[in-house]
Amino acid sequence: MNWGKIKVGFWSAIGGAIVLAIIGFNWGGWVTGGTAEGMAADAVVDRLTLICVAQFTQDPEQAQKINELKKKDFWDRQKYVEKQGWATMLGETKPDSKVADACANQLLKMT
């Protein structure tokens, strides 16, 4: 058995795997499971934010409430949106804090 050829083959395979991983993660669109979960959670928040904004637009007092929202400090805006019920989704009993925060930011961009 020629151990020299086996060593070269082994290290070539290792090197190829490393190069493949570098190319895949940097340019091939590969992501880790944790990254994929984070991206999915962000996508859900983005979709629910649209519902939150739509619920705001259905509020008969929206002009007054957007002015109140503008007067709030940035750390109080999320709680304000939560209290209005705009970030509480159908079938849920509590508002989603991430949706409320994103919704407040979106509402302020609209005005």
1 compared with 103, residue with greater pLDDT: 103
Model confidence at 57, pLDDT cuts 50, 70, 90, reads very high
Q: pLDDT digits over 11-34, tens only? A: 899 988 988 888 888 888 888 899
CB atoms within 10 A of CB 31: 13
Across the range 42-50, mean pLDDT stands at: 96
**CA–CA dist 17, 54 (Å, integer):** 49
Measure the CA dihedral 86/50/108/38, to 10°.
Answer: 100
Q: Angle 54-57-61 (CA atoms, 0-180°, nearest 5)?
A: 145
**Model-level pTM?**
0.73
Burial of 46-57, coded b for 16+ CB within 10 Å and e otherwise, reads eebbebbbebbe
- The amino acid occupying position 85 is G
**CA–CA dist 16, 9 (Å, integer):** 10
87, 81 contact by CB (below 8 A)? yes
**CA–CA dist 104, 7 (Å, integer):** 60
